[in-house]
Amino acid sequence: MKNPELVIMAAGMGSRYGGLKQIDKVDSEGHIIIDFSIYDAVKAGFRDVTFIIKKEIERDFREVMDAHLAGKNVNVKYVYQELDKLPEGYSVPEGRRKPWGTAHALLCCLGTVDAPFAVINADDYYGANAFKKIYDFLKNTSDEGKSHFAMVGYRIKNTVTEQGTVSRGVCQSDENGMLVEIVERTKIGTSDGKIYYTEDGVDYDLDPETLVSMNLWGFTPAYLEQCRLRFPKFLDENLIKNPEKCEFFLPTVVSELIAEGLCDVKVLDNSDKWYGVTYKEDKEAVVEAFRALKAAGVYPEKF
């Protein structure tokens, strides 16, 4: 079996953050969050990294990443998520600026990524433990009988921000730790010490211990082919209803595959705290977190 690869989704617009957060520095040495993820991934055993970016940010992104990865023990590839990467017979709706979503981002890797792979967000910090768990899973997974995938689950209480709402895949697993259902909640927030999500204008409480997806998944290439097969149906159902903002979500495809008996998903429980920069105001807390991690010896000052 081929060595597992790492796919990093870095094509998001960062509309809530207000800038190109993928390459925003988080320490005095000029490191960005991706640097810490790749450090942890290489330590776990990953050697091949594919970045998903937009053409319009390529110059700025590669100017930073080429320098940061020089001399590192990784092979780097780039794929591009563009609005016009659509099946034959479809076109970009007038006024559409928003990317097509995380499942479409991975679809752009079809033909480039041909080994079991982990996928992460560029602007989220996952911790070394998470990369070790997903790498060990991918080393032993297969598509025998049906596809066997994995997801690293985080407690919702460790993934929210005080700066506004966030999107998370809320998970339900069975007694064997297998994912039963994942529902994408796009408006999760905090108020008076409680965590809630909003749907159709109504707030619903969430248990702080609820497991959620932070888009750290382990897949085989079969997942990419399923995205290809399902994207036209998604477009047919959503372009009329919401042409400018509908998104083809990664967890939605997973849920469909589980329901159809085409895959199972092992939930790898992780109690570590997530750090990320959904909003500009999150950065100060992230900078302090990395300072503390270095002081504790988790990371060297320079790497």
pLDDT of residue 238: 97
**pLDDT tens for each residue of 89-130:** 999 999 999 999 999 999 999 999 999 999 999 989 999 999
**5-152+212-249+274-295 adopts what CATH topology?**
Spore Coat Polysaccharide Biosynthesis Protein SpsA; Chain A (3.90.550)
Q: Is the pLDDT of residue 87 over 90?
A: yes
pLDDT at residue 16, as a whole number: 40
pLDDT tier at 1 (50, 70, 90 boundaries)? Answer: confident
Single pTM value for the model: 0.90
Mean pLDDT of the chain: 92
What gap in Å lies between CA 216 and CA 28, rounded to an integer?
27
For residue 73, the model assigns a pLDDT of 86
With bands split at pLDDT 50, 70 and 90, how would you rate the model's confidence at 21? low
Q: For residues 281 and 99, which has the higher predicted lDDT (pLDDT)?
A: 99
pLDDT, residue 115, reads 97
Query: What ranges do the domains of the chain cover?
Result: 5-152+212-249+274-295
Q: What is the pLDDT of residues 154-186, one digit of tens each?
A: 999 999 988 888 888 899 999 999 999 888 888
What tens digit of pLDDT does each residue of 65-82 get?
999 999 888 999 999 999
Q: Please say if the pLDDT value at position 153 is more than 50.
A: yes
Pick 103 or 17 by higher pLDDT.
103
